[in-house]
Structure 1
Amino acid sequence: MQSKATIPVNVGVVLDSNTWIGKLSLSCIEMALSDLYASHPHYKTRLIINVKDSKSEVMDAALAAQDLIRSKEVKAMIGPQNSRQANLVIEVGHKSHVPIISFSATSPSLTSPQIHSPYFFRVAQNDASQVQAVSAIIQAFEWNQLVLIYSQGIYEEELIPFMARTLQEGNVQIPYQIAIPTLATDQIISQELYKLRLMSNRVFVVHVSPQLGSRIFFIARELGMMSQGYAWIITTKMSNQLQIWNSSVTDSMQGVLGVSSYFPRTKELDDFELRWKMKFQQANPSMIWAQMNVLGLWAYDATTALAMAIEKVEFESLGISQSHLRETLSKIKLNGLAGDFSFVNGDTNLSSYKIINLIGNSERVVGYWTPQNGLKRNMETTYSFTSKNNLGTIIWPGDCFSAPKGYDELANKKELTVGVPLLRNGFDELILVQHEDPTNNTNVRGYCIDVFLLAMRSLPYNVSIEFIPYYKRSDHYSPGIYYDDLLHETYLGKVDAVVGDITITAKRSSYVDFTLPFTESGAVFIVPTTIAKNKTKVWIFLRPLTWQLWLTTGCFFLFIAFVVWVLEHQGNREFNGSTSKQVSTSIWFSFSTLVFAQTNLTTQLTVQQLRPTVTNVYQLLQNGDSVGYHFGSYAYDFLRQLGFDDSKLKVYHNAQECDTLFTIGSQNGGISAAFDEITYIKIIMASYCSKYTIMGPTYRSEGFAFAFRRGSPLAAEVSRAILNLTELNRDMMIRIEEKWFKNESNCPQPSNYDDNSNNSLDLDGFRGLFMVAGLASSSALIIHAAVFLYCQKRRVFIQFIGSNVSLLLKNVRAIFKSFYQKDHESFPDSQNDREQISSNSNEITVA
């Protein structure tokens, strides 16, 4: 029963009530008030806590704080639990002049000069204060490089600049950092850790939440990264909450070092833990594993400090002055369960840490760090040192007692094992595996190898590679199974990747991860070419045009010759003379215009000399022809799907074998066509130029790619590298192609052949030309005739209209005879010409 002499003071508490830390903190807050007032019965004030659940959400925490200030008129607030929530709650408290005291928000920015509120106080240690302790451990073991692993997020990443700057001051380099999303999938975590596994660095500093950290270490153990030679150091973000983990988590963290907040073991602390455990288990009977940690101690001390400050505040008629309460809190000094502390600019002065080693299901303290003395074996030691020899015995990952070197320059030589196909005997331009005597070393070279090595060298880290030839042979396998078996080696974990002329297929994608293709995609048939022979070579010149086009051209040839004669014979000496001369001149002029001025049709006779022996796939099937394909290619299954029988499928290993099969022919056990990837086809055609040509359409194929183990991060990394090479660094790819492939530019480029195409030019293609030529010629003829009849023979033409039939025919003959003669008035060469003109005029009969 509360005494009438005491004054109740409302205080808000914002927690994530359903979390382990929320339950732990609330129980400690309640015990702090109970213990304080029991030991100080004379206090006139009594804190009344008003709890609000923030539901682990940022906005819910801010709304809870506002509600407590408005509805409960709280004079101060304890909480919230994390830095993201604290940022908004601090703003709410600052605007309302309500002090906020935190026991678990550790972000450095919360008390930075830029955004610091004078109403915010933090009993928890600032994350930035531990970087010196981490740096001291790194220097003690003389590690000069490490990798930082941290949670992705604004507040989670704030420690990293402090850490990097402090480590660099100690000549420690950070060549690589990994930011992992809090809700990252196991696959993403595995990919990121696999990158680290391929590096030579073996020291990792982990700054993540306990939930994410437990998954990271579990996967690290699965990848073999919790073995001898590795060193792992966790920050207080994980180490301060080790008590909430079960044995399955700690089993995967054996040998890990941690920097943990230090608090002294005292009789008062032991007594408190005993009482707290009994009370907590009564309230939470299902949590029999619960243990106290430093966050509960800070919650206890924060509540005690707030209650003592409120008791010291002067009382006025209007109640407690909140500005006075803020000033009183800033001056408070307390001998708390977590140690003696006071506030400096809102932060506690607690800055000592213990160095722990996780062994079994518990932590073992191997040393301490303080700002005054640095690393030391016991807290009572008053001198400082940085030597690892003065720390306690550390059991490292892999149950090793010797400290890791921090790097492994030889580890990568066998880290990335790459399988390559050995059973090839051909297309050495792509990949060739040889054994060098007497060393028996494996020499791997070729286009695929050069592209792969170029892509790997472009990665932001070094990867050592060991090529392993695949030896497996079988007397009973269908071609293509060999490559499938090689790819299956990655699924079995025997190799990490496969490099070679490997085609992407849906079936193979079910057990490997392919990169983007690095070659041109598509597959085609090739067939031999033959010189087209006509039975009557005498008439081969007629082949460029169809007979309809030849006929129409002949008609226009004669018509244009007539038009030219009409227009020219009277005024051009070349078109005069005897009748035979005029006819031959007109015909020759028309012929020379149509023929000698046009030279672009000559290629019709040469281009079509080389023709495919087979024009389509259906012809191959109907004829029962055999088809060849490259050993190991996916083409075998594809040809089966097209309808080819096994007996009609012939395998070849190289361009020479393919040529031999073509030479033998289907009737003698050879082939009539070959089906292959475009890359193989280019090599064959570059070797034999116009001897073969492409038949029919290009079939869809994804091209060649590199294969990696499922889930390997290198698949995506190398894909990006290939994309950069093909788009941004094309010159390098061209140089590699020129190095390994013959130049096809010196060979005639065969064209695809369509069975339905007509190689002769037809009338439709020239219909417009004939229309224009005919219209122009006819118009010129009509105009010339009109001018001749009207201008030169006007009087005769008038009489000509009224003549009878006999006179009409006579006058027509006279007009044509006059027209036939050359124009002597324009070209009077002699007296005879003038007499001839007069004579012609007198012959016209007038009615």
Structure 2
Amino acid sequence: MIGPQSSAIAHILSGIANGLQVPIVSYGATDPTLSALQFPYFLRTTHSDAYQMDAMADLIEFYGWKEFIVIYVDNDYGRNGVSAFEDELDKRTLRIAYKLPLPIQFNMSYVTEVLKSSKSFGPRVYVVHVDPDPLLKIFTVAKRLQMMTSNYVWFATDWLSTTIDSYSPMMSRTSLGVLQGVVTLRQHIPKSTRKQAFLSKWRKLQRAGLVSSELNNYGLYAYDAVWTVAYSIDRFIKKYGNVSFSLNDKLLSVKGTELQLGKLKVFDGGAILLKELLETNFTGLTGQIRFDEARNLINSGYDVINIDQREIRTIGFWSNYTGFSVSPPEAVKVKKVSYSPWDQKLNNVTWPGGETTTPRGWVIAVDEKPLRIVVPNRTSFVEFVTEYNNHDIKGYCIDIFTEACKLIPYEVPFRLEPFGDGHSNPKYDQLVKMVESDVFDAAVGDITIVKNRTEIVDFSQPYASTGLVIVAPISHPKTNAWVFLKPFTWELWCVTVGSFVMIAVVMWTLEHRVNDDFRGPPKRQLATMFL
């Protein structure tokens, strides 16, 4: 069987292929869970999404983002692709902050609600993994919601390059307008005279009206899939000369269904034909056609493309043995076992909004969800912080906080909330615990940094200090000659006196050793130097 293009249908047909021992060669089913262990008769002349998600995780890491949002279609292809993505992210200590699933037949209204809800999240980096969508519904809605501006970053898996490569030239110019700044992947196919000749022939067929569609990379993989099967069957016939089928007792015993499975027969030479397929080795339109142990096409890499001013720009290439490079994988002479992040290179990207500087990719908050800042409502030393009429909070601490916010290169929405009844100073330990329990996001005020508080919250560096302190008695004892002993306990005085005695003994010992062992400089001076 040749096909199918859908991963969901490939799961169903692969189960049937196993039972009938008929090899199935797909050119479009990229679901990574279509494994050789579960479906030994399944092969594909394309890349698994596990390989693509390795490239996408490297792309996220290359630009330095740690958290992002994934939008995906809620079927086997989408869920299993995202699962493979998470596996690759774990290796790089990155994570998906939010997952936004879409139904298989999603419409503009549903996408609008999903994207609106994501505006309240911090990350502004999106990765989109859905089925090919000629209407580009996600990006059309994003542009309408002002989410294709310089604050946002958009990545897409190869469904997007497949979609835009399928457009006619006129439709392509119109549709690319909503994709400004988007970065996507395209399965890399090396340039060759064979490929150029085929594309030239295809264009002639288009001009003659014999074909109407454009040819994307999956079309080339489909072409090679047909030749893969043809070569294998040819070798099979030449070696064994016979194709036979036999009935299966298990299928005959199946009842209670309209499928009439009893009429199906098992291919006797299925295992032999599968062996011939796995030994395939020829040069096709997409490059060298060979299968690895997992029944996948041996990979060549991905193009990294950027949409800018309605044009498709290739900004670099990726493979699992070179990482990112401005040269195609086939141009790299030596395949590296591992590559350093310092070796990675891509050409400049034009991001959404026309910016060439890499966006920050996140915001601290949005206006709809400001930070909750609690401040003590003091009744004494109000110069630090207190609440005046009409919820007007002022003070030295508030001025420091406001000036600190000005140093941040982005807006931090916040709301000051007083804590206390306004008749007595509030309990600061209770205020700190409310931050620890997430009642408030932070606190601003004259809050002393003490041990029990540092165990549950983080403090800024101190910005106010009392400096030198005069120790004075709180009572008025009778004056006498020993009053200077009063500020400290007898235990502390004993430790102090003992320390002075120890220092005197050390000085006396050093002085006498210097007198005995050295000649030259004055002995008292050397003793002082030793001390």
**Conserved in 2, the CA contact under 8 Å of 1:148 and 1:206?**
yes
Per the TM alignment, residue 168 of structure 1 is displaced from its structure 2 partner at its CA by 2.5
CA gap 1:149/1:207 in 2 versus in 1, 3 angstroms: same
Equivalents in 1 of 2:135, 2:415: separation in Å?
Answer: 32
Runs of 4+ in 1 over 6 A off after TM superposition: none
CA deviation vs aligned residue, 1:742-783 (integer Å, no higher than 9, x gap): xxxxxxxxxxxxxxxxxxxxxxxxxxxxxxxxxxxxxxxxxx
1:304 aligns with 2:227: yes
- Residue 350 of structure 1 aligns with which residue? 299
1:294 aligns with 2:217: yes
CA gap 1:334/1:362 in 2 versus in 1, 3 angstroms: farther
Per the TM alignment, residue 119 of structure 1 is displaced from its structure 2 partner at its CA by 2.0
* SS class of match (1:278): helix
CA deviation vs aligned residue, 1:774-828 (integer Å, no higher than 9, x gap): xxxxxxxxxxxxxxxxxxxxxxxxxxxxxxxxxxxxxxxxxxxxxxxxxxxxxxx
Per the TM alignment, residue 156 of structure 1 is displaced from its structure 2 partner at its CA by 1.9
CA gap 1:159/1:175 in 2 versus in 1, 3 angstroms: same
Structure 1: tracts of 5 or more residues without a match = 1-76, 417-432, 440-462, 468-731, 733-847
Per the TM alignment, residue 335 of structure 1 is displaced from its structure 2 partner at its CA by 1.2
- Residue 6 of structure 2 aligns with which residue? 82
**Conserved in 2, the CA contact under 8 Å of 1:414 and 1:466?**
no
- Residue 201 of structure 1 aligns with which residue? 123
* SS class of match (2:208): helix
1:122 aligns with 2:37: no
Per the TM alignment, residue 266 of structure 1 is displaced from its structure 2 partner at its CA by 1.5
CA gap 1:401/1:415 in 2 versus in 1, 3 angstroms: farther
1:338-737 matched pairs, under 5 angstroms:
338-344=286-292, 345-379=294-328, 380-381=331-332, 382=334, 384-386=339-341, 390-409=345-364, 412-413=366-367, 434=390, 436=392
1:335 aligns with 2:247: no
CA gap 1:465/1:244 in 2 versus in 1, 3 angstroms: farther
Equivalents in 2 of 1:92, 1:408: separation in Å?
Answer: 50
CA deviation vs aligned residue, 1:322-351 (integer Å, no higher than 9, x gap): 432211111111211111131123211124
Give 1:150's match in structure 2, choosing from 72, 75, 87: 72
Per the TM alignment, residue 166 of structure 1 is displaced from its structure 2 partner at its CA by 1.4
Amino acid in structure 2 at the alignment position of 1:167: L
- Residue 484 of structure 2 aligns with which residue? none
Equivalents in 1 of 2:182, 2:342: separation in Å?
Answer: 19
Give 1:279's match in structure 2, choosing from 202, 205, 225: 205
- Residue 33 of structure 2 aligns with which residue? 109
Identity %: 25
Equivalents in 2 of 1:195, 1:437: separation in Å?
Answer: 32
- Residue 788 of structure 1 aligns with which residue? none
**Conserved in 2, the CA contact under 8 Å of 1:341 and 1:350?**
no
Equivalents in 1 of 2:158, 2:220: separation in Å?
Answer: 15
Greater Rg by CA: 1
- Residue 104 of structure 2 aligns with which residue? 182
CA gap 1:240/1:466 in 2 versus in 1, 3 angstroms: farther
Equivalents in 2 of 1:88, 1:201: separation in Å?
Answer: 37
* SS class of match (1:105): coil
Amino acid in structure 2 at the alignment position of 1:249: S
Equivalents in 1 of 2:91, 2:151: separation in Å?
Answer: 25
- Residue 263 of structure 1 aligns with which residue? 189
CA gap 1:142/1:215 in 2 versus in 1, 3 angstroms: same
**Conserved in 2, the CA contact under 8 Å of 1:83 and 1:106?**
yes
- Residue 96 of structure 1 aligns with which residue? 20
Per the TM alignment, residue 135 of structure 1 is displaced from its structure 2 partner at its CA by 1.4
1:47-66 matched pairs, under 5 angstroms:
none
Give 1:227's match in structure 2, choosing from 135, 143, 149: 149
* SS class of match (1:217): helix
Amino acid in structure 2 at the alignment position of 1:358: I
* SS class of match (1:110): coil
Amino acid in structure 1 at the alignment position of 2:111: I
Per the TM alignment, residue 191 of structure 1 is displaced from its structure 2 partner at its CA by 1.3
**Conserved in 1, the CA contact under 8 Å of 2:36 and 2:42?**
no
- Residue 407 of structure 2 aligns with which residue? none
- Residue 166 of structure 1 aligns with which residue? 88
Equivalents in 2 of 1:133, 1:371: separation in Å?
Answer: 8
Equivalents in 2 of 1:388, 1:242: separation in Å?
Answer: 31
Per the TM alignment, residue 92 of structure 1 is displaced from its structure 2 partner at its CA by 2.4
The alignment of Structure 1 onto Structure 2 pairs a total of residues equal to 348
- Residue 485 of structure 2 aligns with which residue? none
CA deviation vs aligned residue, 1:456-488 (integer Å, no higher than 9, x gap): xxxxxxx96789xxxxxxxxxxxxxxxxxxxxx
Give 1:254's match in structure 2, choosing from 180, 183, 206: 180
Amino acid in structure 1 at the alignment position of 2:24: I
- Residue 490 of structure 1 aligns with which residue? none
What TM-score does the superposition give when structure 1 sets the normalisation length? 0.39
Per the TM alignment, residue 386 of structure 1 is displaced from its structure 2 partner at its CA by 3.3
Per the TM alignment, residue 284 of structure 1 is displaced from its structure 2 partner at its CA by 4.8
**Conserved in 2, the CA contact under 8 Å of 1:231 and 1:397?**
yes
CA deviation vs aligned residue, 1:273-297 (integer Å, no higher than 9, x gap): 0101222453456x4xx43211011
Amino acid in structure 2 at the alignment position of 1:268: R
**Conserved in 1, the CA contact under 8 Å of 2:325 and 2:344?**
no
**Conserved in 2, the CA contact under 8 Å of 1:240 and 1:261?**
no
**Conserved in 1, the CA contact under 8 Å of 2:323 and 2:344?**
no
* SS class of match (1:390): coil
Equivalents in 2 of 1:128, 1:406: separation in Å?
Answer: 25
* SS class of match (1:107): coil
CA deviation vs aligned residue, 1:597-652 (integer Å, no higher than 9, x gap): xxxxxxxxxxxxxxxxxxxxxxxxxxxxxxxxxxxxxxxxxxxxxxxxxxxxxxxx
CA deviation vs aligned residue, 1:246-296 (integer Å, no higher than 9, x gap): 3443211111111221111112211110101222453456x4xx4321101
- Residue 679 of structure 1 aligns with which residue? none
Structure 2: tracts of 5 or more residues without a match = 245-268, 371-388, 396-411, 417-438, 440-531
**Conserved in 2, the CA contact under 8 Å of 1:147 and 1:177?**
yes
Amino acid in structure 2 at the alignment position of 1:197: K
Amino acid in structure 2 at the alignment position of 1:408: V
Equivalents in 2 of 1:125, 1:266: separation in Å?
Answer: 20
Equivalents in 2 of 1:151, 1:319: separation in Å?
Answer: 41
Name the structure, 1 or 2, with higher relative contact order (CA <8 Å, separation 6+).
Answer: 2
Per the TM alignment, residue 163 of structure 1 is displaced from its structure 2 partner at its CA by 0.8
Amino acid in structure 2 at the alignment position of 1:103: Y
Equivalents in 1 of 2:241, 2:299: separation in Å?
Answer: 37
Equivalents in 2 of 1:135, 1:98: separation in Å?
Answer: 36
Equivalents in 2 of 1:148, 1:178: separation in Å?
Answer: 6
Per the TM alignment, residue 112 of structure 1 is displaced from its structure 2 partner at its CA by 5.0
Equivalents in 1 of 2:27, 2:203: separation in Å?
Answer: 20
CA deviation vs aligned residue, 1:537-585 (integer Å, no higher than 9, x gap): xxxxxxxxxxxxxxxxxxxxxxxxxxxxxxxxxxxxxxxxxxxxxxxxx
Per the TM alignment, residue 173 of structure 1 is displaced from its structure 2 partner at its CA by 2.3
**Conserved in 2, the CA contact under 8 Å of 1:262 and 1:352?**
yes
